[in-house]
C-alpha cells in the first residue's frame, strides 16, 4: 500500500468524523511530523478492546512517521468525564487512580511502539493551574454550550443533578492539547465536545487548532456499548484463552465491525468476509474464528493466538477438558463448598443460583441440587469456559 492509500485508510477505517479532514490530509501528505494525542483516564485497572480502537489508530499514525503522544489522565481521572454517562460520575480517590494506572503503559505497549511514543501524565500541568488560569479557560465557553449536550440536557430535563465539577472536564482535556502542543487528537464519538474544546482553547493560546479524528464506538460481548462498568469488555490483560473465547461469544452481527475497528486485516479481505456472511453460505462461527485469531494475535502475538485457538477448539468443539485445569483437594465435599472454594462462585448464595440456573455440570452432567457431594477425580464445570478438578 502506497503512502496516499495508507493516509486514505487512516482517515476512513473505523472513523466517524474528521475535523478538519482536508487540512489534516494536506498535513499528512506534506511530510510534516505531526504530534498526535490520545488521552485515556485510568478509571479502571484494565484497558479493553474498545480502547484498542483508538490505540490502533494512534499506531497507524506512528507507522506513517508521526509522534504518538499517549496521555494517562491521572488528574482528569479523579475529576471524571461525564461525556458518556446518564448520571453524575463520582470523583475517584487519588489512590484508586494511582492503583488503576500502574500497568497502563505496559498494556498500551501491546499495541503501540512505546520506544517511539511520548508518554505523559496530565497531573504535570493540570495540578499546577491556579484560579486565574482556570478562569481564563472557562471564559472561552458559555454555560449554554455545555448544557446543550444531549446527555446533559437529558439529565437536566429529568431533574437530575449536574455538578459544576462536570463543567470543568472539557476545559482540562482541552488544556492537555495546549500542554503537549497537539496537532491532532484522537477520541471516540462520545468525546466530541471535549475534543472541540481543545481547538477552541489552542486558538486562545496562540496555537493552531488541532485536527480531530473520531472513531466509532464498538459494542461489548452482550451487544451493549463496551464499558467496564457493565462488565461486557474484552480486556487487553486477559490471557489468550479467555480473550479468544470472549471474541467467539460476541453477537454475529458485529463480526465485521470488529474486523474493521479491532484488527488490521486488509479491508479487501474484510469486504469478502462481509459478502460471505451476507450470502448465508458460510457458518458465522468460521469467520468469527478468524476474527478471534486476529484480535488475540494483535495483543499476544501469533503464539498466543494459536494457544487461544487450540484451547477453544478442544474445549468447545471437541468437548475436551483443558490439560491445565486447576485441582482442588475437596473430594467428599458438597458442590456448593467446591464452587465457592474454587472461586467458580463468589458466595454460597451465588453457588445456589448457578445450580438453579443449570449452569453447573459435574462430569458433564447438569447438577441442580445444592446437596450434591463431589467425588474424587470429578470435573466440575461452570458454563462453557470454566473447569476445576476435585482430587
Give me the CATH number covering residue 185: 3.40.50.620
Last residue of a domain, one of 270, 293, 317: 317
Query: In this predicted model, what pLDDT tens digit does every residue of 341-380 receive, in sequence order?
Result: 998 988 898 899 899 988 898 887 888 889 899 988 888 9
What is d(CA 274, CA 255) in angstroms, rounded to the nearest whole number?
9
**Domain range for residue 380?**
327-390
Considering the domain architecture, whether residues 281 and 338 belong to the same structural domain is answered as no
Looking at the domain assignment, is residue 192 inside a domain?
A: yes
**Would you say the C-alpha torsion 257, 260, 262, 263 has a positive or negative sign?**
positive
Considering the domain architecture, whether residues 54 and 191 belong to the same structural domain is answered as yes
How far CA 94 is from CA of 98, 101, 302, in Å, comes to 6, 11, 38
Whether the model clears a pTM of 0.85, i.e. scores above it, the answer is no
How far CA 183 is from CA of 26, 38, 176, in Å, comes to 13, 11, 12
Contact between residue 260 and residue 15 where contact means Cβ atoms under 8 Å apart: no
Looking at the domain assignment, is residue 322 inside a domain?
A: no
What is d(CA 42, CA 385) in angstroms, rounded to the nearest whole number?
29
| Total count of domains within the chain | 3
Give me the CATH number covering residue 263: 1.10.240.10
Residue that has been written with the C-alpha cell 511514543 in this structure: 117
Considering the domain architecture, whether residues 57 and 135 belong to the same structural domain is answered as yes
Those residues whose C-beta lies under 8 Å from the C-beta of residue 28, and which sit 6 or more positions away, are 7, 10, 34, 64
pLDDT score for 304: 95
Grid cell at residue 62: 506512528
Those residues whose C-beta lies under 8 Å from the C-beta of residue 307, and which sit 6 or more positions away, are 240, 241, 300
pLDDT score for 84: 62
Looking at the domain assignment, is residue 92 inside a domain?
A: yes
Looking at the domain assignment, is residue 223 inside a domain?
A: no
- pLDDT beneath 50, residues of the chain: none
Looking at the domain assignment, is residue 233 inside a domain?
A: no
Grid cell at residue 213: 479524528
Looking at the domain assignment, is residue 356 inside a domain?
A: yes
327 phi, psi to nearest 5 deg: -115, 140
Considering the domain architecture, whether residues 344 and 196 belong to the same structural domain is answered as no
Looking at the domain assignment, is residue 90 inside a domain?
A: yes
Considering the domain architecture, whether residues 213 and 146 belong to the same structural domain is answered as yes
Pairing outcome for strands 35-40 and 184-188: parallel
Grid cell at residue 288: 468469527
Considering the domain architecture, whether residues 98 and 37 belong to the same structural domain is answered as yes
Considering the domain architecture, whether residues 157 and 297 belong to the same structural domain is answered as no
Considering the domain architecture, whether residues 273 and 361 belong to the same structural domain is answered as no
Considering the domain architecture, whether residues 163 and 252 belong to the same structural domain is answered as no
For residue 348, the number of C-alpha atoms closer than 13 Å in the C-beta half-sphere is 4
Hey, which residues does 389 pair with through a beta bridge?
A: 327, 379
Considering the domain architecture, whether residues 269 and 157 belong to the same structural domain is answered as no
Give me the CATH number covering residue 385: 3.10.290.10
Considering the domain architecture, whether residues 331 and 371 belong to the same structural domain is answered as yes
120 phi, psi to nearest 5 deg: -130, 160
Query: In this predicted model, what pLDDT tens digit does every residue of 67-108 receive, in sequence order?
Result: 999 999 999 988 887 766 666 677 788 888 888 888 999 999
What string of H, E and C letters represents the secondary structure of the chain?
A: CCHHHHHHHHHHCCEEEEECHHHHHHHHHHCCCCEEEEEECCCCCCCEHHHHHHHHHHHHHHHCCCEEEEEECCCHHHHCCCCCCCCCCCCCCHHHHHHHHHHHHHHHCCCCCHHHEEEEECHHHHCCCCHHHHHHHHCCCCHHHHHCCHHHHHHHHCCCCCCHHHHHHHHHHHHHHHHHCCCEEEEEHHHHHHHHHHHHHHHHCCCCCCEEEEECCCECCCCCECCHHHCCCCECCCCHHHHHHHHHCCCHHHHHHHHHHHCCCCHHHHHHHHHHHHHCCCCHHHHHHHHHHHHHHHHHHHHHHHHHHHHHHHHHHCCCCCCCCCEECCCCCEHHHHHHHCCCCCCHHHHHHHHHCCCEEECCEECCCCCCECCCCEEEEECCCEEEEEC
Considering the domain architecture, whether residues 300 and 337 belong to the same structural domain is answered as no
Looking at the domain assignment, is residue 370 inside a domain?
A: yes
Cα–chain-centroid distance for residue 244? Answer: 15
The CA dihedral of 40, 209, 57, 47, to the nearest 10 degrees, is 0
Count Cβ atoms below 10 Å from residue 317 Cβ, excluding itself: 10
Name the strands in the sheet holding 35-40, side by side, starting at the edge strand that comes first in the sequence.
Answer: 15-19, 211-215, 184-188, 35-40, 67-72, 117-121
Amino acid at each position: 500500500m502506497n503512502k496516499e492509500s495508507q493516509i486514505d485508510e487512516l482517515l476512513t477505517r473505523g472513523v466517524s468524523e474528521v475535523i478538519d479532514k482536508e487540512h489534516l490530509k494536506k498535513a499528512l501528505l506534506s511530510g510534516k511530523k505531526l504530534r498526535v494525542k490520545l488521552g485515556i483516564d485510568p478509571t479502571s485497572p484494565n484497558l479493553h478492546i474498545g480502547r484498542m480502537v483508538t490505540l490502533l489508530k494512534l499506531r497507524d499514525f506512528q507507522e506513517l512517521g508521526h509522534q504518538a503522544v499517549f496521555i494517562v489522565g491521572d488528574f482528569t481521572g479523579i475529576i471524571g468525564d461525564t461525556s458518556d454517562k446518564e448520571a453524575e460520575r463520582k470523583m475517584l480517590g487519588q489512590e484508586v487512580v494511582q492503583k488503576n494506572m500502574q500497568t497502563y503503559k505496559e498494556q498500551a505497549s501491546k499495541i503501540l511502539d512505546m520506544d517511539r511514543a511520548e508518554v505523559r501524565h496530565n497531573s504535570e500541568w493540570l495540578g499546577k493551574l491556579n484560579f486565574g488560569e482556570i478562569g481564563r479557560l472557562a471564559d472561552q465557553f458559555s454555560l449554554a454550550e455545555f448544557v446543550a449536550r444531549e446527555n446533559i440536557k437529558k439529565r437536566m430535563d429529568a431533574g437530575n443533578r449536574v455538578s459544576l465539577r462536570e463543567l470543568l472536564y472539557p476545559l482540562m482535556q482541552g488544556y492537555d492539547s495546549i500542554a503537549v502542543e497537539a496537532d491532532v487528537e484522537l477520541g471516540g464519538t462520545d468525546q466530541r465536545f471535549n475534543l472541540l474544546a481543545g481547538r477552541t482553547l489552542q486558538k486562545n493560546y496562540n496555537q493552531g487548532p488541532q485536527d480531530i479524528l473520531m472513531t466509532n464506538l464498538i459494542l461489548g460481548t452482550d451487544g451493549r456499548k463496551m464499558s467496564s462498568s457493565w462488565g461486557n469488555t474484552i480486556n487487553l490483560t486477559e490471557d489468550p484463552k479467555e480473550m479468544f473465547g470472549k471474541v467467539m461469544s460476541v453477537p454475529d452481527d458485529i463480526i465485521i465491525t470488529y474486523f474493521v475497528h479491532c484488527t488490521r486485516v486488509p479491508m479487501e479481505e474484510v469486504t469478502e468476509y462481509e459478502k460471505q456472511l451476507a450470502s448465508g453460505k458460510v457458518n458465522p462461527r468460521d469467520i468469527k474464528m478468524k476474527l478471534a485469531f486476529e484480535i488475540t494475535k494483535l495483543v499476544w502475538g501469533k503464539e498466543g493466538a494459536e494457544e487461544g485457538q487450540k484451547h477453544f477448539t478442544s474445549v468447545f468443539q471437541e468437548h475436551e477438558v483443558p490439560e491445565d485445569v486447576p485441582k482442588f483437594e475437596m473430594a467428599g465435599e458438597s458442590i456448593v463448598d467446591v464452587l465457592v472454594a474454587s472461586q467458580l462462585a463468589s458466595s454460597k448464595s451465588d453457588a445456589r443460583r448457578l445450580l438453579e440456573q443449570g449452569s453447573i455440570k459435574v462430569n458433564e452432567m447438569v447438577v441442580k441440587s445444592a446437596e450434591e457431594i463431589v467425588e474424587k477425580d470429578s470435573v466440575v464445570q461452570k458454563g462453557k469456559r470454566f473447569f476445576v478438578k476435585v482430587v
